[in-house]
Chains A and B, each alone.
Chain A
Amino acid sequence: MNQTTIPPYLDPSSVGIVRPQTIHFDTPLLLECQRTLHEFDLVIETYGTLNADKTNAILICHALSGSHHAAGYHSKTDTKPGWWDKLIGKGKAIDTGQFFVVCLNNIGSCHGSTGPTTINPNTGKIWGADFPLITIKDWVKTQVMLSDYLGIDRWHAIVGGSMGGMQALQWSVDFPERLARAVIIASTPKISAQNIAFNEVARQSILSDADFYGGRYLEQDTYPRRGVMLARMLGHITYITEDAMKAKFGRDLKSGKFMYGYDEEFQVESYLRYQGERFSKNFDANTYLLMTKALDYFDPTRYYSDDDVDDATALKQTLARTQCQFLIVSFTTDWRFSPERSAEITDALIANQKPVSYVNIDAPHGHDSFLFDIPRYVHAIKGFLNAPLILKPTQNL
């Protein structure tokens, strides 16, 4: 058979056709906001095979717009693979020939796990804006419940980019004995005021949309299309770089001349509108609000550091709890979560003499770089996940 005619799901490095599964939990979950979810569903996908002693499992945590669908295809006609297909598969950075890979959809999301678009069992109505605000710490709690369900006492590694990296970091301090390695990519120990500002603009664009209806838009059989679109357009600009935009669109005009109006004139405008429009159809507005708040609230030092200490000291005190081997990865052109933020995590670990490696990958794609299969990045992760652990879990350097 000619190579070009092989359907993508049959590519030997692909995990192929995958099927999500839903796991129901009926143990009450007390959230950080002090509200309780009495029951909830998690949608997960798994790739590869769990070994007999359950020591080869890797948990993938998703970023803001991600889901449980990290690799492979949902059907033979599916043309778009999971969001991290470039890194997960046979022989890839996260090698499904060796590891049992689990990816879940976090609660509060809109891809099947319990969230604003699912039914509140107490009222029989869609949760909508009544869905409680969720934190990164809450997600980690649900992921621990998932670990217990799967019988995995200790993950070979927990891996995540951006908001996924925050979950991996939170794991390392909340449940230090339950992971051997953490891979924290394009992330930050907490987000900056500038990032909170971007999130606030995104939220305001949604909240001020006439079709938002106080978050009860689904009951009105509508959704705040323009608000979500604007939020995504803004987000998109911050995830990439001027160089990447210049390379892709420059100042190219659609019709080749100025039209002196407010329609799409430049290619970049048309691209952003298209991306925003598509996103608004597939992503729930309440989820966007909730996820950006989870980003804003993220602060792993909250329960583990003394009052009145500076940020660096608080992080150092917090990371003293960790017992895993870390790989911290940043990208040179990421200005949303800059390399300096990754260096802060690295330095706090070094200050505790914890086992850590740090790489700053030269890549032109900005924050979004973590989704690309940049050779050096792929090799670093692959090498790290396969490397022997020299120190015992509780040992500092």
Chain B
Amino acid sequence: MNIDHQLAQKWIKKNSKVLDLGCGDGALLEHLQKYHGVTGYGLELDEHNINQAISRGLNIIEQDLNDGLGRFADGSFDTVVMTRALQAVKNPKNLLLDMLRVANEGIVTFPNFAYWQNRVYLGLKGIMPISKTIPHEWYNTPNIHLCTFKDFERLCADNDIKILDAVAINDDSHLPSKLMQKVVKYAPNLLADVAIYHIAKG
């Protein structure tokens, strides 16, 4: 399980209902289901991931997140999780609001475009940055709405979305993670490459 999964599960209550948007191969959902008594559904589009998640005994619905969450009733989940998919959807604002319609709380992670390496890359080379967290060329990237921590927080403020907690991590770092966490805290928008936000209705 990667670091944002580990952090996400910290905010998910035992025996609660979870909707995992872009659940991948279902690793997080399986972990939550097995060890935290969590139940729920995962939404995914990639066929290989879907089959993998189904064979793990998970409930997986093939769905494009761009179609919204209309098939889920208001407040039918405790938490909606979306790891590293926000930047790839057509209308991130609508999806965020839809997430907080079907659940009280949300957990969102996304790559931070303001990460110092991206700034250096763009500043010095003059071309769109490519890194471990944003690995595609500009012309074939699924990430059509890259943003920074500051951008995301402004979006939340403008749309009455409460930020319960936020963790900035450096997934790209080779430094020991505890030390890195301490350093990142001072200037997350500059030093972290992945953001993890715990949000709720305002």
Chain A positions near chain B (C-beta within 8 angstroms)? 327, 343, 346-347, 350-351, 353, 355-360, 376, 379-380, 382-384, 386-391, 397
Q: Does B54 contact A (CB under 8 A)?
A: yes
Interface residues on B, range: 20 to 34
Q: CB < 8 Å: which of A346, A382, A389, A397 contacts B57?
A: A389
- Binary CB contact string for chain B from 53 to 94 against chain A (1 if under 8 A, 0 otherwise): 011111111110000000111001000000000000000000
Chain B positions near chain A (C-beta within 8 angstroms)? 17, 33, 39-41, 47, 50-52, 54-63, 71-73, 76
**B62 A387 Cβ-Cβ under 8 A:** no
**B76 A353 Cβ-Cβ under 8 A:** yes
Distance between A325 CB and nearest chain B CB, rounded to angstroms: 8
**B50 A359 Cβ-Cβ under 8 A:** yes
Given contacts A358-B62, A376-B47, A391-B39, are A384 and B54 in contact (CB under 8 A)?
yes
**B17 A351 Cβ-Cβ under 8 A:** no
Report Cα–Cα, A242/B63, bound state, in Å: 26
> In this complex, which of B39, B63, B73 has the most chain A Cβ atoms within 10 angstroms of its Cβ?
B39
Report Cα–Cα, A356/B71, bound state, in Å: 13
**B51 A380 Cβ-Cβ under 8 A:** yes
Report Cα–Cα, A358/B41, bound state, in Å: 11
**B76 A346 Cβ-Cβ under 8 A:** no
Residues on B with beta carbons closer than 8 Å to the beta carbon of A389: 57
**A387 B54 Cβ-Cβ under 8 A:** yes
**A357 B76 Cβ-Cβ under 8 A:** no
Complex A-B: 16 CB contacts under 8 Å: A350-B61, A350-B71, A353-B39, A356-B41, A358-B61, A358-B62, A359-B47, A359-B54, A379-B55, A383-B54, A384-B55, A387-B56, A390-B57, A391-B39, A397-B17, A397-B39
Residues on B with beta carbons closer than 8 Å to the beta carbon of A358: 60-63
Residues on A with beta carbons closer than 8 Å to the beta carbon of B71: 343, 346-347, 350
Query: Which 6 pairs show the lowest CB-CB distances between chains A and B?
Result: A383-B55, A387-B57, A397-B39, A388-B57, A357-B60, A379-B51
Nearest opposing residue in chain A for B63, CB measure: A358
Report Cα–Cα, A359/B58, bound state, in Å: 13
Residues on A with beta carbons closer than 8 Å to the beta carbon of B60: 357-359
- A-B contact sample (6 more), CB < 8 A, given A384-B55, A387-B54: A350-B72, A376-B51, A383-B51, A388-B56, A390-B39, A390-B58
Distance between A152 CB and nearest chain B CB, rounded to angstroms: 22
> In this complex, which of A327, A343, A397 has the most chain B Cβ atoms within 10 angstroms of its Cβ?
A397
Residues on B with beta carbons closer than 8 Å to the beta carbon of A347: 71
Nearest opposing residue in chain B for A388, CB measure: B57
> In this complex, which of A327, A346, A353 has the most chain B Cβ atoms within 10 angstroms of its Cβ?
A353
Nearest opposing residue in chain B for A351, CB measure: B73
**B59 A355 Cβ-Cβ under 8 A:** yes
Report Cα–Cα, A384/B40, bound state, in Å: 17
Distance between A376 CB and nearest chain B CB, rounded to angstroms: 5
Distance between A324 CB and nearest chain B CB, rounded to angstroms: 12
Report Cα–Cα, A356/B55, bound state, in Å: 13
Residues on A with beta carbons closer than 8 Å to the beta carbon of B63: 358
**B55 A386 Cβ-Cβ under 8 A:** yes
Q: CB < 8 Å: which of B40, B50, B61 contacts A397?
A: B40
**B55 A346 Cβ-Cβ under 8 A:** no
Nearest opposing residue in chain B for A349, CB measure: B59
> In this complex, which of B50, B58, B72 has the most chain A Cβ atoms within 10 angstroms of its Cβ?
B50
Report Cα–Cα, A351/B76, bound state, in Å: 9
Report Cα–Cα, A391/B54, bound state, in Å: 14
**A380 B41 Cβ-Cβ under 8 A:** no
Report Cα–Cα, A280/B73, bound state, in Å: 49
> In this complex, which of B33, B51, B55, B72 has the most chain A Cβ atoms within 10 angstroms of its Cβ?
B51
Distance between A73 CB and nearest chain B CB, rounded to angstroms: 30
Q: CB < 8 Å: which of A346, A351, A357 contacts B54?
A: A357
Report Cα–Cα, A327/B73, bound state, in Å: 21
Report Cα–Cα, A380/B50, bound state, in Å: 8
Report Cα–Cα, A255/B59, bound state, in Å: 54
